[in-house]
């Protein structure tokens, strides 16, 4: 039987030494599941350990400011996950007394917890017989049961959910759930799967038919939108740079970033706009080569422009939306990774002008 084979394999060959394993703490299970969305295990481990040290439980996370949570998430990407994590922690404390609901149905009603994540928490923390369907599990089920097509398409997704629910074991659901995730991560990989060592290869449709490269199907090609903007890197005499906190909605929501202007803005117009917005006299001293950053749904070309100022903007000092960031604070600040790289290189760039 499929589920029994997965359980036996997991107990002997599955992963047992990851920092969030060997626990039924719903907080740690939840945190790991959110961090692992669209992110490799090797990348997640150091972020998880650092995050847990600062926020050891849901109460500590709920009590923190979003800006601090984002600073601990900075570099992990997909920042809506961190914002939803913070919202969810506050909802658990406010509405559930700091205790995670014990069922997948209740968990799925919390901010940022979808059907599969809710099932993973319920299965791993509470032993509920609940089906998960993350990216790795979709691949395992699609190949084994011969469910062709792109998993994001409605009919394919429904077929995968039906297969996931049909295979649930009566007992050992935590080992089965962990086994599915381990199998997809270590053996049933996207490319070059290790089929000869797979515990369910004898009944796998894709292995039998030689179609592991075709199942599941890749996302259909699409034209990626492109955004281009000028980033104003405004430094004062000490080397501190003026940053603004982005709106919670949109890319890099809640993070600090240089002010953005039109891609083709001239030096004269840029200096005028900075004076108008920040009451700041700054002069352009150079422009850097464009920097390309790829998001999941579009490409972003950043055109950094270097400016110097002898003073500080009154507007920035009086507003929670702006702040001067010293070079010594760049590593720990809530910054997108490409912006952090630009700022760390800013002293050298300024010296070259």
> What is the distance between the alpha carbons of residues 47 and 20, in angstroms, rounded to a whole number?
12
β-bridge partners, 299:
226, 294
Is 294 among the residues known to form the active site?
no
> What is the distance between the alpha carbons of residues 40 and 44, in angstroms, rounded to a whole number?
6
> What is the distance between the alpha carbons of residues 119 and 135, in angstroms, rounded to a whole number?
14
CA torsion 9→12→15→19, rounded to 10°?
140
Residue of 4, 33, 68, 275 marked catalytic: 33
Query: What angle in degrees, to the nearest 10, is found between the helix axes of 2-13 and 173-186?
Result: 70
Give me 123's structure tokens: 């299965």
Q: Which residue blocks in 187-236 are alpha helix, DSSP H?
A: 205-209
> What is the distance between the alpha carbons of residues 75 and 339, in angstroms, rounded to a whole number?
10
User: For the chain, what is the largest distance between any 2 Cα atoms, rounded to a whole number of angstroms?
Assistant: 73
Give me 334's structure tokens: 């809530």
Q: How many helices (H) and strands (E) does the chain have?
A: 16, 8
With a CB cutoff of 8 Å and minimum separation 6, the contacts of 17 are none
Active site (catalytic) residues: 33
């Amino acid at each position: 039987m499929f589920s029994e084979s997965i359980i036996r394999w997991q107990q002997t060959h599955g992963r047992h030494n990851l920092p969030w394993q060997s626990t039924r703490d719903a907080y740690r299970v939840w945190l790991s599941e959110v961090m692992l969305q669209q992110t490799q295990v090797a990348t997640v481990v150091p972020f998880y350990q650092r995050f847990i040290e600062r926020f050891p439980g849901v109460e500590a996370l709920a009590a923190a400011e979003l800006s601090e949570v984002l600073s601990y998430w900075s570099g992990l990407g997909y920042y809506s996950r961190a914002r939803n994590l913070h919202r969810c922690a506050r909802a658990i404390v406010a509405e559930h007394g700091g205790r995670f609901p014990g069922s997948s149905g209740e968990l799925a009603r919390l901010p940022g917890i979808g059907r599969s994540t809710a099932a993973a928490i319920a299965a791993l923390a509470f032993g509920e017989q609940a089906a998960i369907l993350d990216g790795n599990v979709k691949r395992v089920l699609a190949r084994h049961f011969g469910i062709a097509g792109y998993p994001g398409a409605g009919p394919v997704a429904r077929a995968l959910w039906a297969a996931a629910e049909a295979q649930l074991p009566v007992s050992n659901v935590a080992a089965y759930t962990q086994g599915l995730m381990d199998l997809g991560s270590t053996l049933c990989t996207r490319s070059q799967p290790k089929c000869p060592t797979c515990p369910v290869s004898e009944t796998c449709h894709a292995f039998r038919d030689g179609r592991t490269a075709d199942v599941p199907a890749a996302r259909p090609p699409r034209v990626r939108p492109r955004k281009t903007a000028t980033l104003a890197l405004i430094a004062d005499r000490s080397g501190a740079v003026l940053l603004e906190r982005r709106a919670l909605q949109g890319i890099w929501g809640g993070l600090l970033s240089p002010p953005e202007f039109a891609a083709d803005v001239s030096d004269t117009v840029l200096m005028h706009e900075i004076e108008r917005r920040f009451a700041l006299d700054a002069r352009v001293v150079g422009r850097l080569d464009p920097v390309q950053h790829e998001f999941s749904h579009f490409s972003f070309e950043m055109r950094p422009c270097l400016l110097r100022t002898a003073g500080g903007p009154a507007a920035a000092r009086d507003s929670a939306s702006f702040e001067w960031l010293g070079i010594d604070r760049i590593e720990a600040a809530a910054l997108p990774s490409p912006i952090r790289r630009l700022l760390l290189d800013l002293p050298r760039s300024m010296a070259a002008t």
